[in-house]
Amino acid sequence: MSKKLHTIPALDNFRMPGEQEAHEGIWMAWPERTDNWRFGAKPAQHAFAEVAKAIAKKTKVTMVVTADQYDNARGRLPEHIQLIEMTTDDSWMRDIGPSYVVNDKGVRRGIDWEFNAWGGLVDGLYSPWDKDDAVAKKVCEILEDDSYRAPIVLEGGSIHVDGEGTLYTTEECLLHPSRNPDLSKADIEQVLKDHLSIEKVIWLPLGLYNDETNGHVDNIMHVVAPGEVALTWCEDPSDPQYAISRKALDALETATDAKGRKIKVHKLPLPGPLYFTEEEANGIDMCDGMAREPGERLAASYANYLISNKHIIYPLLDEKTDDMARDKLAELYPGYELTGVAAREILLGGGNIHCITQQIPKL
Ligand code: KQY
């Protein structure tokens, strides 16, 4: 049995664990919409299946899939990937799934944020989005976990937590007029404190250049461990990412976290720059929300990786930089298994491996 709760998670003594803590499972959603995924979503389905198989080396994977795609997904996924029929609008489980909180008595609960497809009627990427907005609650019901409906629009990819009281986000996204225009920065911080039991918010000014999520933090940096982050870095002063990464570094280096630590920043290489090819852009159905032009810059970043049970599943994006990214991740995560997955097809949809996965904490 799963209940909708009307209390405050922090007052109930629940906190959001860091991604580096143990997971019971990872949830994903099967891609199919042809105005986001080229060629009938077949190349993206292949990439999602490879991500699922990689994660499943160490962690149970559950994939939700619409009724129309059930047989196709079942045929393309190995038996050990659990498949659950669920209606969705698209496939970004990080953003539509629950953010989980846990207490010290071995109980977990889901936070079900309001979802408006990255901007609702202001600059959202598709409409309607009601099926995606219903996913977090359905996941909690299937897992028989109670949930809280949080009173703000927020996507899971717009926050990172370290599990020890610090949350990282961007002003570009959380203060964007398309999310919670009636709330101040202080109001938003209070909702985050109330729902995730964090004590300190570290605000980066901007997310990755040309990211259609309005600058999700998970596409520019990742928490490595409490007090340590990996930041996408750019060495080319003529690239718009150069100034964005420097501003982020400044915000991180001048902050202290909830425990009073200075933050150690590790630099991740930037792939590319990568752009939509003509063939890629032409393979996607036209629509109102998502602009896909040949030559458009892709929001490509190695920071968009998943940590699951001492395993790093990271995107392969550019032959020139993939090895550098792997070496850096190997240095940051000694003793962890590392698996790179070819991820350009996920990138073409507007995100990457972290955006398509959501962890369920182990109790
Ligand atoms: O979290 C994400 N990066 C999702 C991006 C959604 C893009 C929809 N085309």
Query: What pLDDT, on a 0 to 100 scale, did the predictor assign at position 68?
Result: 97
Q: Which ligand 1 atom sits closest to the C-alpha of 352?
A: 3
Whether residue 211 has its Cβ less than 6 Å from ligand 1: no
C-alpha to C-alpha distance for 363 and 355, rounded to whole angstroms: 23
Query: What pLDDT, on a 0 to 100 scale, did the predictor assign at position 288?
Result: 79
Residue spans of the chain under pLDDT 50? none
- 166-189 confidence digits (pLDDT tens): 999 999 999 999 999 999 999 999
Tell me if residue 26 falls in helix, strand or coil: strand
* Residue whose pair of structure tokens reads 């664990």 in the numeric block: 17
Do 301 and 321 meet the contact criterion of CB atoms below 8 Å apart? no
Whether residue 357 has its Cβ less than 6 Å from ligand 1: no
To the question of pTM greater than 0.75 for the whole model, the response is: yes
Query: What pLDDT, on a 0 to 100 scale, did the predictor assign at position 290?
Result: 81
Do 140 and 180 meet the contact criterion of CB atoms below 8 Å apart? no
Query: What pLDDT, on a 0 to 100 scale, did the predictor assign at position 226?
Result: 98
Protein residue closest via CA to atom 2 of ligand 1: 351
Closest by Cα among 178, 212, 223 to 92: 212
Catalytic residues: 355
Query: What pLDDT, on a 0 to 100 scale, did the predictor assign at position 326?
Result: 98
C-alpha to C-alpha distance for 33 and 49, rounded to whole angstroms: 16
- φ, ψ for residue 275, nearest 5 deg: -135, 155
- 62-93 confidence digits (pLDDT tens): 999 999 999 999 999 999 999 999 999 999 99
Q: DSSP states of 146-195 as a string?
A: -EEEEEEE--GGG-EE-SSSEEEEEHHHHT-TTT-TT--HHHHHHHHHHH
Ligand 1 pocket test, pick from 32, 116, 154, 213 with the greatest ligand atom count within 8 Å of Cβ, gives: 213
- φ, ψ for residue 295, nearest 5 deg: 90, -5
- Give the number of residues written for the chain: 363
Closest by Cα among 63, 65, 56, 64 to 23: 56
C-alpha to C-alpha distance for 315 and 326, rounded to whole angstroms: 10
